[in-house]
Amino acid sequence: MSMRLRRVFIFTAIVLGYFMALLDTTIINIALPEMTRHFGGTVSEISWVMNGYNLAFAALILTASRLADQFGRKKVFIIGVVVFTLASLLAGFSSSLAMLIVFRVIQGLAGAIIVPVTIPLTTTSFPKEQHGVIIGVWGAIAGLAAACGPSLGGMITEKLSWAWIFFVNVPLGLLSILLTLLFIKESRDDSASRSIDYGGMLGITGAMLALTYALIEAKDYGWNSGYIYSLMGAGLFCLLIFFYIQWKVKEPMLPLMLLRISAFNGSSLTLLIVGAALSNIALLTSFFLISVLGMTVLKAGLVLSMLAVGSIVSSAVSGGLSGKYGSRWFAASGVAVIGGATYSLSSLGVNSAVGDVLIRLAAAGIGVGLTMAPVMSSAIRHVPEEKVGIASGVINMSKAFGSVLGVAIIVTLFQLNINDQVETAKVLSAEAIQNDSKLLPASREILVSVMNKLQSRGGTEDGVTGIDSTTDSEGIEQSIEQAISRLNLEEQKTLDDDRQGQMKEIELVLSGAASRMQDASVQAFNHTFKVASYMVVPGILFALLSDGRRGRKHRKVVKGLHNAEV
């Protein structure tokens, strides 16, 4: 067998495992309503199908990287894919929500094993001159997995059932295992001892568990909650303990000399920002498409796939070129494009065409592709070759934590924005009722009763404002009749004398209220998109730091760090 064909099989094996693990962070979201209908339970309970995976993934990723470096990356990768495939099969057969959540947590643990090992397996299987191109394709796969999850999940759920979201992983996992066994050679960090840093592993796992869990729960408990403060404090304490242990022990799981490499730090921080930005764009845009533009969940998922299109194209190009010309300008330009695209999403309104959304998402995807592959390539290029595994764990942990952090912040900001906008709309609607000279007192009572009922039924969560005179006309008519029945006989008689005129005026006022509520929702999205774009700005600076000076001086620095470690 030719070396070229062998490398095709090697890359296919790695990509299949990687694609599965990343896909399951997004594909599940769109199937949550169907799972709720199947299992029952509250929204908070069903959300742990998603949160359980993310929590386990973030907590174990650095530990898995270290163990792979010590005991063999091929071996650990196979263990991860086997566990992920088996957990996927059992998740599809789950008979209760609790069972499904347990298997999702196991999937998350397995995903944390798979993802960071893929980069060192790739770099040790391909010559150095091909690393830029290969990581470019690798970045394109990452963008594809993240962006196509909603559309793929929607199609599978609609045509088959929610269980097939998990079953499709089984053949992919089996093929990955077979190809790995046949074609990938074992590799490890030969400079690392076989002694396990239990203290360091417990410290970083405890820190990521506490911090990630705090961010997940912050939207429910509130950022000022003592419970959230306690979790944050515990997480930071564990993080301090972790670094203290790494400084003191002879064989730390995270060599602190990596943190002396400014390009590596810049890459890690850039990926934290990009992880947050990508999650924020996907989350806010999906809610906007469904609640403002009235798209179905499946159609919204298909529109969001445009992120993948832009990312695939730019990743394949930027990965190879960054290896030749350096990553900093590609990455900085990419982050700037992401920020600009996010800001441009704030100009969308209720009458925006689908094409307007697609153009903005494609631009954001191009920005992601320009950033991800070069930054990943730079992070690996600037660390000693034998430390690629643990370095991959750090940068992937940064991206995963950034995603959780970004969502926690943006959901809180969105809730504040929409509450403010809706309260303003309610005040304006109340003033419109009181100032309408055509309305009888009885009609005003009817309007107040109807609006209170519709608003309490709809709430303001996720952009739903509760009043929609076009899609909820039957419910409005029922509410009006119920309000009329509560009037006394004299008020009913007065209303009957001009019933047609009063009903017309009531409908007109309700239409105005619905319009204000819709505008409130749009304004909340617009303001939140703007804040999300501002959150991206520090990433430009971090991206400029993501590549060191090229040439002899850089090689001496890396060699010196390697000698210091040895």
What the block records as the tokens of 41 is 């339970």
Nearest CA among 524, 511, 518, 516 for reference residue 450: 511
Output the pLDDT for position 102.
Answer: 93
Per-residue pLDDT tens digits for 349-393: 888 899 999 999 999 989 988 888 888 888 888 888 778 888 888
Domains observed in the chain: 1-195 (1.20.1250.20), 418-522 (no CATH)
Q: What's CA 29's distance to the chain center, in Å? A: 10
Q: If you count DSSP H runs as helices and E runs as strands, how many of each does the chain have, helices first?
A: 22, 0
Residues in the chain: 566
φ, ψ dihedrals at 253, nearest 5°: -70, -30
Helices 48-71 + 388-435 axis angle, to 10: 170
DSSP one-letter string for 126-142: S-GGGHHHHHHHHHHHH
Q: What is the pLDDT along the chain (566 residues), one digit of tens a residue?
A: 677 788 888 888 988 888 888 787 777 777 777 788 888 776 667 778 888 888 888 888 888 888 888 888 899 999 999 999 999 999 999 988 889 999 999 999 999 999 888 888 887 887 777 776 777 676 667 666 766 677 777 778 777 888 888 998 999 999 999 999 998 888 887 777 778 888 988 999 999 889 988 988 887 888 888 999 999 999 999 999 999 998 988 888 888 888 888 888 999 999 999 988 988 888 888 888 888 888 877 788 788 878 877 887 787 677 667 767 778 888 899 999 999 999 999 999 888 899 999 999 999 989 988 888 888 888 888 888 778 888 888 888 888 888 888 888 888 888 888 888 777 777 777 777 777 766 666 666 667 776 666 555 544 444 444 444 444 444 555 556 666 666 666 666 666 656 667 677 777 777 777 777 778 888 889 999 999 999 999 999 999 988 865 544 444 444 444 444 43
Using CA of residue 61, residue 150, residue 377, residue 332, what is the dihedral sign?
Answer: negative
What the block records as the tokens of 12 is 């296919």
CB distance 299 to 354 below 8 Å? no
Own/partner contacts of 190-196, CB < 8 Å, gap of 24 or more, are: 190/386, 191/386, 191/387, 191/565, 191/566, 192/66, 192/69, 192/70, 192/251, 192/386, 193/70, 193/251, 194/70, 194/71, 195/251, 196/67, 196/70
Q: What distances in angstroms separate CA 537 from CA 360, 458, 543, one per listed residue?
A: 18, 35, 10
The pTM score is 0.80
